[in-house]
Structure 1
Amino acid sequence: MSNTESGDSPPSFEDPFRGDDVEQRIYGTILQTREPTTASDIATRVECDPKTARKYLGWFTDLGIVTRYDGHPTTYERNDAYFEWRRINQLAAEHSVDTLQKRVRELTERIDEYEETYDATTPAAVDAVAAGEKHGDRTIDDIYSDFGDWTTAREERKRYERARQQRASTETEQASG
């Protein structure tokens, strides 16, 4: 171990899964994969046997974490819908209906402000250069930063609203059951 590394320090960016078992390294690798990838490629990245990679990828497929694409060769890809579902369940479990509704209102207010500022319903409907000229005190970087925040607020509002509906449904079922 070098002088700059200690047992308590995070792993380097070059080897973020150093010290993890094979399952964790495969999981971490699939989380970073944005396109269908073969089990052999994943095995190479995590330094394990391709049979071992296929075993864990099959298990992750059964859990819904990974999508398997049959073909020659078979490929695997992170299932973003699973992580979205998981995040919504987590929000519903950790927050009350009132807390979730409050967050939906806050996000709606932020979105409304952006819609009013840019006279559009989505960031995609705004010409950034024209908006920069209209709002002369704002740089193009400020405009794009707003677009990123606006997009994030819209996505987050959907998650919180789905979590609110889920939590409200669960509470209604529990009250009537």
Structure 2
Amino acid sequence: MSEFDPAPGADNDDAFQRWQADTDTFDRVYDVVLGVTTPTTYRVIAERADCSANAAKKHLDRLTEMGVVRKDEQSRPARYERDDGYLEWQEARRIARELSVEEIIDRVADLEAEQQTYEQRFETADPESVTVFELDDHEALHERMQAVSEWQATTRDLRLYELARQLAQNDGHLIPA
């Protein structure tokens, strides 16, 4: 299991103590939940955020209402994970603020051309349908895996820049007011 935890760990006591002292409970819970990559109980998040389980649950439920976090209520106890759609939305908003509409449109055109190149190369419109393990040659296998990974990144970036274009053209809204 690979986890990214933006909260400083106990192995770095100075950073952890500064984070703990300079950050309120809500922000610590927010930092921790954005770092988890798998559904996690509120008790584990509370431990990492250095707060009570009740405080973590309260803040996680608030973050769920805000759309930052998803809650799996079928599991007992409930498990929480970041909503990657929220992170994509934030990234698209950042792009829309930092670039002009023309720069975004140019980037979308470049990404569309890259995507078309991958589609022609692999003779499919879906990178998930490309089989990478049918090759015997290790270098060819590695090259194909890297190409598919880059294609997936291009697809993600295209989605982000297209969303950013809509936001930039509509004064921060998806559709014209």
Aligned residue runs from structure 1 range 148-163, under 5 A: 148-163=149-164
Judge which range, 65-74 or 81-90, deviates more: 65-74
| Selected match of 2:54 from 41, 51, 55 | 51
Return the offset for 1:95.
1.5
Q: TM-score under structure 1 normalisation?
A: 0.74
Aligned residue runs from structure 1 range 88-99, under 5 A: 88-99=92-103
Rounded to whole Å, the distance in 1 between the matches of 2:80 and 2:98 is 31
Return the offset for 1:25.
3.2
Report the equivalent of 2:33.
30
Distance change in 2, residues 1:88/1:25 (3 Å): same
Return the offset for 1:83.
1.4
Query: Could you list the runs of 5+ residues in structure 1 that have no partner in the other structure?
Result: 1-10
Query: Could you list the runs of 5+ residues in structure 2 that have no partner in the other structure?
Result: 1-7
Rounded to whole Å, the distance in 1 between the matches of 2:162 and 2:68 is 23
Return the offset for 1:114.
1.6
Return the offset for 1:76.
2.2
Q: Does 1:40 align with 2:43?
A: yes
Distance change in 2, residues 1:128/1:23 (3 Å): same
Q: Does 1:87 align with 2:91?
A: yes
Report the equivalent of 1:75.
79
Task: Work out the percentage of aligned pairs sharing the same amino acid.
Answer: 26
| Selected match of 1:107 from 108, 111, 116 | 111
Q: Secondary structure at the match of 1:120?
A: coil
Rounded to whole Å, the distance in 2 between the matches of 1:163 and 1:103 is 11
Q: Which has the larger radius of gyration?
A: 1
> Residue type of the partner of 1:47?
D
Q: Considering only aligned residues, what root-mean-square deviation do their CA atoms show, in Å?
A: 3.1
For these two proteins, the number of residue pairs brought into alignment is 160
